[in-house]
A and B are shown apart, each in its own frame.
Chain A
Amino acid sequence: MLATLIIVFRELIEAGLVIGIVLTATRGVAHRGRWVGYGILGGILGACIVAVFADSIAGMMDGAGQESFNALVLAVAVVMLTWHNVWMARDGRHIAQEMKLLGEDVSQGRRSLMALAVVIGISVLREGAEIVLFLYGIALSSGNSAVAMIFGGIFGLTLGVATSALMYFGLLRLPTRHLFAVTSGLIALLAAGMASQAVLFLQQGGIVTIFSQTIWDISGILPEDSLVGKTLHTLIGYTDRPSGMQVAVYVATLGMIFSLMKLFGHPSSPSQPNRKSGTPVVTILP
């Protein structure tokens, strides 16, 4: 039972952190609950499909199918997160404020919600597939009662949801005027972390082989398998022993997102004083 609890909790919390960020970023946007729900449902469905075909996926691409698949879905999530941030920089802020005032559904806002729903779906899919395979394995092997498995699963689920909710409400306490900057920053870091993780999978699969050496090792200071390390890994892609390529891609992704936001962002919008609406994201980076 304990093993089930730990696995379900661990995988769930990773997806939960992503959902928490998306919920914070879309605060006040009409119908966001529905889209987040679609993302979660789609992710669970996808997780079951991936788990069933795990064997055939793994066999593709000369044995690097699983790595390619993981890298691909992560890349899709990076694109969606980038797109959301660019859209927010362009006119999302303005629209989000109006939506809050009028409670109106704006088609533009819906498209951004769709992008984020895809991100949620991908996170749930990746973590969920592991849960499904694990539970299936337990069910397959004798000596484990179904009751213990179900209880472990439910406890893990409850704990995971509670922890994710705590983080979400923590984020919500931020004052509204900083919220845009903070969520843009969080989403950019989340995307960079996912991009760097995609690189790791490509290296593991032997698809990318250059700059694969570890360039620094700070596992003595903040080990990645500690609670803080793990949380930071999900949130900003922290890793204690990154490869050169991972660092390069991380920096490049951040650079790309912020340049695109600057390129497409309106330097001044009528409802905002210039000072505030310039490039708010820059302010949260040290």
Chain B
Amino acid sequence: MKNLKKLICLTGFLAAIIAMPAFAADPPIYEITIKDHRFEPSEIKIAANKPAILLVKNLDAEAEEFESMDLKVEKIIAGKSEGKIRLRALKPGRYKFEGEFNAKTAQGILIAE
């Protein structure tokens, strides 16, 4: 019985922790556009040390893969569509990103400060 109570308490506690962020305010959204296989802007500044959302709009007809080893994200953005990417809280610094399918032109940098 004692164990059962403990278990229920623990489950409730865990559920509270997991559910908590759902009530937290949504992080700020930063927009990046892909056109002619280039990022616009190719340099974007965001606030450091807090989560953020990148909204990547692909205006080209071809799909692009938004990828960044520095930011630890990879997402395919189909042609003529957009995608949201959640970023973890970032330390101040410069983070490179690229369009993997057109790496020659699609290069950008994100600056957290």
Q: Does B94 contact A (CB under 8 A)?
A: no
Alpha-carbon gap, A58 to B84, bound state (A): 10
- A204/B75 contact (C-beta < 8 A), A55-B81, A137-B62, A213-B89 known: yes
* Interface window among A21-29, A39-47, A128-136, A148-156: A128-136
Q: How would residues 59 to 75 of chain A score, 1 for a CB under 8 Å from any chain B CB and 0 otherwise?
A: 10001101100000000
Closest to A67 in B: B75
- A203/B88 contact (C-beta < 8 A), A55-B78, A137-B63 known: yes
Closest to A141 in B: B62
Are B63 and A212 in touch, CB under 8 angstroms? no
Q: Does A200 contact B (CB under 8 A)?
A: yes
Are A54 and B63 in touch, CB under 8 angstroms? yes
Interface centre among B20, B63, B75, B102 (most CB of A within 10 A): B63
**Inter-chain contacts of A130 with B (CB < 8 A):** 65, 76, 100
Are A58 and B88 in touch, CB under 8 angstroms? no
**Inter-chain contacts of A140 with B (CB < 8 A):** 61-62, 79
Size of chain A's interface in residues, with CB distance under 8 A?
Answer: 37
Q: Does A205 contact B (CB under 8 A)?
A: yes
By size class, the interface of chain B is 35 or more
A-B contact pairs, 24 of them (CB 8 A): A7-B100, A7-B101, A54-B78, A55-B78, A58-B76, A129-B76, A130-B100, A136-B63, A137-B62, A137-B64, A140-B61, A140-B62, A140-B79, A141-B62, A200-B72, A204-B72, A206-B86, A209-B21, A209-B22, A209-B24, A209-B86, A214-B88, A217-B91, A243-B72
Alpha-carbon gap, A200 to B89, bound state (A): 14
Point out residues on B near A: beta carbons under 8 Å.
17-18, 20-22, 24, 51, 53, 61-65, 69-70, 72-73, 75-79, 81, 83-86, 88-89, 91, 100-104
Q: How would residues 110 to 140 of chain A score, 1 for a CB under 8 Å from any chain B CB and 0 otherwise?
A: 0000000000000000000110011011101
Alpha-carbon gap, A217 to B89, bound state (A): 14
Give B81 Cβ to nearest chain A Cβ, in Å: 6
Alpha-carbon gap, A225 to B51, bound state (A): 23
- A66/B75 contact (C-beta < 8 A), A136-B63, A141-B62, A212-B88 known: yes
Are B78 and A224 in touch, CB under 8 angstroms? no
Closest to B62 in A: A137
Are B83 and A58 in touch, CB under 8 angstroms? yes
Closest to A65 in B: B83
Q: Does A94 contact B (CB under 8 A)?
A: no
Q: How would residues 68 to 108 of chain A score, 1 for a CB under 8 Å from any chain B CB and 0 otherwise?
A: 00000000000000000000000000000000000000000
Closest to B77 in A: A58
**Inter-chain contacts of A200 with B (CB < 8 A):** 72
Closest to A130 in B: B65
Closest to A214 in B: B88
Are B103 and A3 in touch, CB under 8 angstroms? yes
Closest to A223 in B: B69
**Inter-chain contacts of A224 with B (CB < 8 A):** 69
Give the 6 A-B CB pairs with smallest separation, nearest first: A137-B62, A209-B21, A55-B78, A225-B69, A133-B63, A206-B86
Are A243 and B88 in touch, CB under 8 angstroms? yes
Partner of B86, one of A134, A204, A239: A204
**Inter-chain contacts of A210 with B (CB < 8 A):** 17-18, 20-21
Closest to B83 in A: A58
Alpha-carbon gap, A55 to B64, bound state (A): 12
Alpha-carbon gap, A216 to B79, bound state (A): 36
